[in-house]
Chains A and B, each alone.
Chain A
C-alpha cells in the first residue's frame, strides 16, 4: 500500500555547497540519498513530494560539515499481509514463480497456485491450465494476495498466493502476441 507521510532526516552537507544554492543542493542530496531506499519501518521510499522545513544548520567540529534537520513529505510503499497486489512475473520454475511489484519481490509457491495449473518446462517455463486457456510465464501480470512480508534494510520480500477467488493472471503477453 502507498502512504504519503512526513519524515525527518539529518543531512550532512559539505561546506563547498554553501552559497546561494544551498537549499537546492540540500534537496538534491536528499532525493539522491532517500529515494529508492527501504526502511523496515516505513517501507520503500518511492518519491519525495516536498520539503516542509529545513532547520538550523549545525557546524560539526573538526570537519566543517553542517548538519541540517530536514522535514520532508514522501510517498512510501509497504506491503501488508492480506493485501492484494498486482505484480509482474520475473521467473517461473518447478517450485513456483517469482514476481515483482516495484521494489517488492514476491514468491508464489506451486502449493499456492491453483491445482489445475501445471508446470511446463521448456524454453519458456510456465504454469498452464489443462485446457491451455490460462498461462503464467515470465512477463505475465498477476493479481496476488500477500500472506507474508519481510522488510529488510534494502529489500522487501513477500510470500504470495493466487489460490483464491479473483486472483491470477490479469494480462498474458503470450496470449496477446
Chain B
C-alpha cells in the first residue's frame, strides 16, 4: 500500500509506456465481461509483476484484490450511477446499460432506472421525515420574464438604464445580463416566495431554456446558492424534445408539485401540475401569446406584489403542504400522495357550482373533451348540458342565446368563460359580477 502513495518515481519513458500499454490493454479487454478473459488478465498481471518487480506493477496487481472486498467484479449488476462510462460500484466500463443522463449534476453522470427508483425511494423517506415535499419550478413566465436586448421596444429603452447592478443581485429585480444579451425582470414577490417555499419544499428549476441561460437565471434568483444547488434542469437534460418529464428529477412522483405556465409540456404529469398565470413584463414576451395591448413595461407598471400570482400560489402551496402532512401523510404514511391532496384542494374552488355552457365551443363538439369543461370539473363544479332548476351558473360568450336569457330570467349567474380560468389561476371562486358577459368584450 505504501508504494502507491509515494509521490514521484523516476522511470524512463519506454518502461513507462510498456507499463501503461499493459494497463490499457487490461482496461479494454475488460469490456468483454467473461470469466475466461478475466483469468488470463490476472495471469498477465502476475507475470508483469514477476518480470518487472517494479513498484508500479504492484499497484496494478492490487486490482484483483479489490474484487475480494465488498464488490464482486464478475457479478456486479451495475445498479449504481454510471460516471464517465464506468459503473460506480465496481469500476468496470458498462456499455448498453439503459440509463438517463443527469447532465445537470455532472456532465458525465448517468443513472439507470432501478437505481433511480432506489434513490427516489430512500430520498422520499428522509424528505418526508423532514416534513418537506419537492417543488419543480419553471423559469420563464413563472418566476421571471426575459427578453433579448435586441427586442426591447422603444418605449422600454428606459429600462436598460434602470437595470440593477449584477454586483448586488439580492436587492435587484431587473437585470441586464450582457453575457447572454438578455434583459430579465424577476416577478414581484419571487424572493419572498423562494424563501418561504424553500422551508416547505426542496426546490428544482426546470426550464426549456439553454443551460447557460438557466444557470444565469438561477444565479439571479438564488445568488447565495441555497435553493437550487445543482438542481437546475434545462433543455439539454430533457429526455424528450419539447417535453418536460420528472424522469430526470431525483424525486418520487407522489411527492412532487410542479409550477409552470405551460400545461402541454407536462403531458405525463398533469396531476402534479399547478398552472400559473403567465407573467409578461416585456412587450416582446406577450406578442407570441397574442397580447396586443401595451405591456407592463411600456405602461411602467408591474404585477401586484401582495396579491400577485406568486403570492396566491404560495398560499395554495402552504395549504397543500399542511394538508399533506396533517391528513394524508398522517393517516397513510406509506402511500401518501401529494397529487390526491392537490386534487382535493382544487375541487373545493368551485364546489356547489352547477354549470351549463352556452356558445363556448362549436355546436356538435363533445363537451366532455373541452378544456374548460375539464377545468371546471377539476375545480369541483358539476357540469351539465341541459338547463334545470339546480343550475347556478351559465357560462357563455354571448348574451343572446336561449340559455343566457334563461339565466337572466331566473336571476342566475351569467358569466364569461374567463371566470373559470380566473378561478383556476387564483384558486378562489371569483366575484361573478366582474365576469359578466357584457362587460368583457374581447
A119 at the interface (CB under 8 A from B): yes
Q: Is B240 close to A, CB under 8 A?
A: no
Binary contact readout B236-252 vs A (1 if CB under 8 angstroms, 0 otherwise): 00000000000000100
Chain A hits for B229, CB < 8 A: 123, 125
User: B114 within 8 Å of A by Cβ?
Assistant: no
User: B106 within 8 Å of A by Cβ?
Assistant: yes
Chain A residue at smallest Cβ distance from B130: A121
Structural contact, A95 and B8, CB atoms closer than 8 A: no
* B123 on the A face (CB < 8 A): yes
A82 pairs with B65, CB closer than 8 A: yes
Q: Which residues of B contact A157 (CB under 8 A)?
A: 83-86, 108
A100 CB, nearest partner CB in chain B, Å:
12
**Contact A82/B62 with A96-B81, A98-B106 known, Cβ cut-off 8 Å:** yes
Known: A1-B56, A82-B66. A159 touches B11 (CB 8 A): no
Instruction: Tell me if B415 is interfacial: C-beta within 8 Å of chain A.
Output: no
B264 on interface, CB distance cutoff 8 Å: no
A81 in contact with B62 (CB, 8 Å): yes
Contacting pair A147 B71 (CB below 8 A): yes
* B59 with A5: CB separation less than 8 A: no
Cβ of A159 and Cβ of B86 under 8 Å apart? yes
Whether B169 is near chain A, meaning CB under 8 Å from some CB there, is no
**Interface status of B88 (Cβ within 8 A of chain A):** yes
In the complex, the answer to whether B127 meets A121 with C-beta atoms within 8 Å is yes
Counting CB contacts under 8 A, is B293 at the interface?
no
The chain A residue with its CB closest to the CB of B123 is A94
What's the A-B contact tally at a CB cutoff of 8 Å?
A: 142
- B-chain residues with CB within 8 Å of residue A80 when the two chains form the complex: 4, 23, 56, 59-60
Name the distance in Å between A48's Cβ and chain B's nearest Cβ: 14
Give, as a whole number of angstroms, the nearest-CB distance from A68 to chain B.
Answer: 19
Please name all residues of chain B whose beta carbon is closer than 8 Å to the beta carbon of A155 when the two chains form the complex: 84
Question: CA of A158 to CA of B88 in the docked complex: distance in angstroms?
Answer: 9
List CB contacts (< 8 Å) of A62-97 with chain B. Answer: 75, 78, 80-84, 91, 93-96
- From residue A162, how far is it (CB to closest CB) to chain B in Å? 12
Q: A98-B106, A157-B108 in contact; A163/B86 too (CB < 8 A)?
A: no
CB distance from A96 to the nearest CB of B (A): 7
Are B16's CB and A42's CB within 8 A? yes
B91 on the interface (CB 8 Å rule)?
yes
Which A residues lie within 8 Å of B87 (CB)?
Answer: 148, 159
Residue B179 is within 8 A (CB to CB) of chain A in the complex: no
- The reply on B194 being an interface residue by CB < 8 A is no
Q: Which residues of B contact A1 (CB under 8 A)?
A: 4, 6, 9, 56, 59
Query: How far does the alpha carbon of A143 sit from the alpha carbon of B157 in the complex, in Å?
Result: 56
Chain B 111-153: CB-based contact to A (< 8 A → 1; otherwise 0): 1000000010011001100101000000000000000000000
Instruction: Show the binding face of B for A, using Cβ within 8 Å.
Output: 1, 4-13, 16-17, 20-21, 23-24, 27, 56, 59-60, 62-63, 65-66, 69-71, 80-81, 83-93, 105-106, 108-109, 111, 119, 122-123, 126-127, 130, 132, 202, 226, 229-230, 250
**When A and B form their complex, which 9 residue pairs have the shortest distance between CB atoms, in order from nearest?**
A148-B91, A157-B84, A147-B91, A82-B62, A109-B88, A107-B83, A148-B86, A5-B13, A159-B91
Sample of 15 further A-B pairs with CB below 8 A, known A94-B123, A112-B89, A157-B86? A1-B4, A1-B6, A3-B8, A6-B12, A80-B60, A81-B91, A82-B66, A95-B105, A107-B88, A109-B81, A111-B89, A121-B127, A121-B130, A148-B87, A148-B90
